[in-house]
Every structure is written in C-alpha cells, then in structure tokens.
A and B are shown apart, each in its own frame.
Chain A
Amino acid sequence: MNGPRRFPEAAREALGDSQLRANLRRATHTIRDRRAAVVAEIGEWEALREAGRAIKEATMRHLDVHLEALERSVTDRGGVVHWARDAAEANATVARLVHEAGAREVVKVKSLATDEIGLNDALAAEGITAHETDLAELIVQLAHDTPSHILVPAIHRNRAEIAALFRRTLPGAQGVSDEPAALAEAARRFLRERFLGARVGVSGANFAVAQTGTVCVVESEGNGRMCTTLPEVLITVMGIEKVIPSLADLGVMLQLLPRSSTGERMNPYTSLWTGVAPDDGPQAFHLVLLDNGRTDVLADATGRQALHCIRCSACLNVCPVYERTGGHAYGDTYPGPIGAILAPQLHGMRGPTTSLPWASTLCGACADVCPVGIDIPGVLIHLRGRVVAQAARGDVPAGERLGMEAMARVFSSRRRYEAAQRLARAGARPLARGGRIEHRLPGPLAGWTMSRDLPAPPAQTFREWWRAR
C-alpha cells in the first residue's frame, strides 16, 4: 500500500512541501489545545490513565483467555467468530462472506485494521466495491491517496484542495463551495443512497467486551451507526488486542478516548452491539479476529505495550517530528510516535519501518499525553537496541555497531579520548563554517549531519583549559 522507502528519505521530501506543513501545523495545534482543555476538566485524569494502563496490561498478559471468552460470548448471542493469521486470510474471509450474502458492494466504517490489511483492494480484486463512508476516508479514497493521520486521515489536505477534489470526482458535487458545511452536505447526499441500499456493512472495532460479547464503535458523523445498523449483514474486522475484559473496563476507556482524540467530552455517537438483536439491525453478524503480526509484538515483553494503544492519536498531535513530516513519511498505516513503535514490530522488525524508531527526538511529549500510559520513548530506545543487535548478527548493515564499538574503545581510555579530541579539531577545521558543520561530514559519518548541524569542536577543550588554568 505504501512506498518501501525508509523514513529519512520520505521525510526529506515531505519537509519540502510548505503547504503540507502549514496544513499540519494548523490542525495539530487546534486539536492539541482542545484536548488539553477537556483533560484539565477531569480532576482524576491521572488515576483514569493509570486504570487504562493497568486494564490493557492485565488484558495482554492473559490475552488467550479473553479472546476465548469473547468468542464464546459472541457465539452465544448469535454471532459467528472467524480467526485470521494474516492479512490474506482476513481478506479472503471477508470476501467470502460478502459473496455468500450475494452482494457486490459494501459500506465501510473507518477502520485502521482494514486499512492495514488492504481490504478494499482485496475486495476490488474479487469484484466487490467498498464505499468508505467516513468523510475523511471518502476524501482519501476519491483522491487515490493514503491516510496520513490515525483520526483525521485527510489532515494533510485543506478545504480548497478538498473542494477541488469533490468538484472533480464526487457525483452531484460539481458546484460545491469550499465551506466545510457545504462539503459535508455533498458527502451526505452522495452516501445516503449507499446506506439505504447497502446489504453488507464492514467495520472495525474500538473495543470488544469479552464478558458480554459487546462490540463498540466510536465515531462522530453517524456513518458508523448507518453501517452497523441498516445492512442485513455486518462484518467486523478487529485486531486481537482490542478485547477488554468487562463493561467496567469499557467505562474507563470511554472516558479516556474521546477527550484524548477529538478533544471532546464525548464523541457524538458510540454504538454498542451484542451479537444479533432480533428485529433491530443486521440479522447476521461476523467477527473476524486478526493477528497479522500482533502476536510477534506480544512476544516482546517491553515492546508489547504498543498493543495497549486505543488509537486516539494524541501522540501524533503533540509530536514535533509528525508536525513537520506528516503521516505519509512513516510509510505505514500507523504513523507518528505510536506508529514508530507499532509498525516495525508488526512487520517483524524487517524492512523500511525499522528506520522508524529513529523518527523521534525522544522529547517525551507523546508519553505525557498517552491516555493508557504507553512509555513510547522507552520502547523507541528498546527497539533501536533490537535493530542494532540484529545488525550485529549481520541482519542489516553494521556501520552503527562498528561506530559504537570504536566509541567504546575511545571513551574507555583517557589517552585515546584526548587524542580523539585533537584529531576531531584538526579534522573538523576544513568542514566548519561559522562554528557549525552543516551537511558536511564525509563517508559513513554523513548520516549524522544529514538531518542536523554539528557544532564545530572548540579551539580549546575543557581538559586543556583545566591544565593551563
């Protein structure tokens, strides 16, 4: 779905797009201020966060028990549970269920899990059209684009760009103005026919309660209610980490999520359904439980907290790196700080996303806002260690390992350290301009100055000054 580039190359290109940076800056600052205001209303916020963290940690440590309980509860209520080891298995299951329902179209609620597995393309290959119904997902779909934010997938586009897109591609929207209200109205008119005629709805899940078999979708526009209420058949694709044990746990999560994500006291609509309700909504319900790398994440006792994420996106909105590069540079469904710890683990610590643990200044803002207390900087450092250790085993180029080993030799001897300082001063002289070294270090050291300036070594070191004092 996304290009195979590593973060540094993708980020360099994004940084050259001043329109993108203006859009992102405006949007992320708006939402982070709104979040801060509603979080400040809750006196017991820190206790809530700790409860959220503890619920997720305890659930992960007994994930097999909770998944089996969820399966039992959903089945008892007339639902059908399917398991999928990977994306291909999940996609094939959904396609088969759509065919069995005799449908050629589905209406979809915004869902990261289905983005992750590339469900829309897989359905298209089976002759099934998937209509995204969330406004931002519709924008992304019409533009043949990919989402760049967990919560606001079209955050990289401003109203003028969206209006131009709608005039060009949305039936009946040729003359639409660039007022957000007019754009929303155009989407409403286009999608209403799809909702009223849909036989199959596809959703993700924000939470699923093991004890009762209740699935929860949190949304704003009402498209989620439409997709989960009006079709005859409902198919929910959910990552196995979304299970929570009880309704009391849901009560905690529903306090943490809306304030952290959209900065509202509560999102407009939260839908909870439990299997099939006679005479109310879909009369067939399928729940697809998706692994697709999650058990690899679970196997790392430090990294597994990435699975605690409730997809609020607060960490994206406060991240200085995300604010400047946008989500596409991360090259994955999960961008931003949480993506930097989740994506490489989901991909088995292989491929371009192994560059993401370095896509951070380690400033810690992400950990401060995380509603379930994920130690994102701690996991970033842990994953950097895993990447370097893999390099030591020859899995990836070994430049950093050799550099670190050389540093260790230098730092362990006073003689070698002082010699290195003299050498650095001599070597840096032709590279420095005005006390800085910019984009100039040679050979394997170029990576260091590619994205930051280096101060030139001073004319006199502290040790030299101390002796001469």
Chain B
Amino acid sequence: MSGGAARAAVLARVRSALADVPAGEPGAAVPAVPAAAAPDDLAGLFADRVADYRATVTRCAADDAAIAAAIGEAFARHGAGSSVVAPGVPEAWRAAAPGPEVDEPALALERLDAVDGVLSGCALGIAETGTIILDGARRSGRRAITLVPDLHVCVVLAADVVAGVAEATARLGAAIVAGRPVTLVSGPSATSDIELDRVEGVHGPRRLEVVLAG
C-alpha cells in the first residue's frame, strides 16, 4: 500500500529536517498567560457581547416559567409557527416553542429545512467574546438541528457563563474526550466577503435569539 510508503517518507523527512534539535529535548512548557481580571458581572458582559453581534438577548429569571415565557416571545417575534427541539430541553421549556417536534428519533434533513426554528440549550457561554458553546449532548442536540433551521432560540443559564476562551476550552475536555462534536457560536451567520461589509445571515441560522436565564 502506497499510504505506508508516504507515511514513512514524510516522517523520515521531518526527522531529517529536525537534525538540529538535540535528541531527548523535552517539549517546552508553554508560558502561562496571566488571566485577565474576571469582570464582576459575567452575565451582563455576556449579554452585551452577544448583542454586539446583532443577536437578540432576552434576560429573565432562572425559573422555568420565566424561561418559557421568554422562549415563547422569541419565537413569536419572528412569526415562527413550527420548531424542532433538542431532546434534552426540559419539558417546561419545550411547551413554549411553536408546534415543537423533538429530534428523537432524528428528524429527516428535509424536515429540518422546512421548520421555522429550533430550540436548544447549550453547554457554556463565554462572557468576553459573547460565545455560546454547543457540545453535542442532549441539551445542545446534534449539530444539524441548530444549523439548518433559519431561527435559533438558545437558552443560556447564567451559571454556565465563564469569563474567557481559555476557561471554556478547559471545560470542554470531557465532551471532546467523549468524542462529541463541539460548535462555538458567536452571533448569527455572517459574511464580510464583499468589501468587508458585515452582512448577517448566509448559511447558518440568520437569526439568533438568546434567552439568558439568571
């Protein structure tokens, strides 16, 4: 098999190219980056930064009734009449989504393309960058459901918001080691390809509604 020959050849070339590196040199320890002072109000910063991407942020109390009300309003704002729901979303929230279809068993791609919106939770939020992290677990759902529909309503618990990117990647270790796909979402889909003018909405959900609870 030629693959084996290519593997051996590339590795041999790498080793010969590194002849100047002393044998047994330990992998250098990467200098630690001093963590920025965490802001007092993580949830507030997260909300500001998400809104900066022209997503809509609704803040509410961390109880099911308040969350459900905010979810209902978010779908209504866009006139959505149908939705797919991640399987791990609590029943109390699900009832607030319009015509909810739970993605269990997995819905066909054509169905995802036909529904008006999707309701999911998430694993984490990053305050500094206004990022939502979907980790492929039941509350986030599989990747296609938060990708194909045009409206994404995502519930973020304030308790799940961390300060910065480094803290988030450290917390993602478990999901990644478990083999789950992870998606970082910062605002709705966008492009700056034409004269670097930012245009919201290309292929991913063009509208992002974040319900921040707590």
Q: Interface-forming stretch among B61-69, B76-84, B94-102, B180-188?
A: B180-188
- Decide yes or no: A212 and B203 within 8 Å by CB, A57-B28, A245-B27, A280-B181 being known contacts: no
Closest partner residue, chain B, to A262 (CB atom): B192
Q: Are A47's CB and B190's CB within 8 A?
A: no
CA distance A308 to B191 in the complex (A): 26
Number of interface residues of A (CB under 8 A): 100
Binary flags per residue of A5-25, CB closer than 8 Å to B gives 1, else 0? 000000000000000000100
- Decide yes or no: A274 and B168 within 8 Å by CB, A264-B186, A266-B129 being known contacts: no
Q: Are B128's CB and A64's CB within 8 A?
A: no
Collect the chain A residues with CB atoms within 8 Å of residue B31's CB: 47, 50-51, 54
Collect the chain A residues with CB atoms within 8 Å of residue B189's CB: 220-222, 268-269
* Contact among B16, B177, B195 with A299 in the assembled complex (CB-CB below 8 Å): B16
Question: Which chain A residues (122-172) contact chain B, with CB distance < 8 Å?
Answer: 133-136, 139, 152-155, 158-159, 162
* Contact among A84, A158, A185, A255 with B166 in the assembled complex (CB-CB below 8 Å): A255
Question: Which chain A residues (249-274) contact chain B, with CB distance < 8 Å?
Answer: 249-252, 254-255, 258, 262, 264-274
Which of B21, B109, B176 gathers most chain A CB within 10 Å?
A: B176
CA distance A54 to B32 in the complex (A): 10
Number of interface residues of B (CB under 8 A): 78
Q: Are B11's CB and A64's CB within 8 A?
A: yes
Q: Are B113's CB and A254's CB within 8 A?
A: no
Closest partner residue, chain A, to B167 (CB atom): A251
Q: Are B202's CB and A222's CB within 8 A?
A: yes
Closest partner residue, chain A, to B13 (CB atom): A295
Q: Are A269's CB and B28's CB within 8 A?
A: no
Q: Are B170's CB and A180's CB within 8 A?
A: no
Q: Are A274's CB and B203's CB within 8 A?
A: no
CA distance A160 to B6 in the complex (A): 47
Q: Are A223's CB and B17's CB within 8 A?
A: no
Closest partner residue, chain B, to A317 (CB atom): B196
Is residue A77 contacting chain B, with contact meaning CB distance below 8 A? yes
Collect the chain A residues with CB atoms within 8 Å of residue B184's CB: 254, 266, 269-270, 272
Question: Which chain A residues (184-199) contact chain B, with CB distance < 8 Å?
Answer: 184-185, 187-188, 191-192, 195-196
Closest partner residue, chain B, to A133 (CB atom): B203
* Contact among B165, B173, B185 with A254 in the assembled complex (CB-CB below 8 Å): B165
Collect the chain B residues with CB atoms within 8 Å of residue A89's CB: 2, 6
Q: Are B14's CB and A295's CB within 8 A?
A: yes
- Decide yes or no: A265 and B129 within 8 Å by CB, A184-B202, A222-B204 being known contacts: yes
Q: Are B183's CB and A42's CB within 8 A?
A: no
Q: Interface of A with B (CB < 8 Å)? A: 23, 26-27, 30-31, 42-44, 47-48, 50-51, 54-55, 57-58, 61-65, 67-68, 77, 82-85, 89, 93, 133-136, 139, 152-155, 158-159, 162, 180-181, 183-185, 187-188, 191-192, 195-196, 212, 214, 220-223, 225-226, 229-230, 240, 245, 247-252, 254-255, 258, 262, 264-277, 279-281, 289, 291, 295-296, 298-299, 301, 304
Q: Which 6 residue pairs spanning A and B have beta carbons closest together?
A: A222-B204, A251-B169, A222-B203, A295-B13, A299-B17, A221-B202
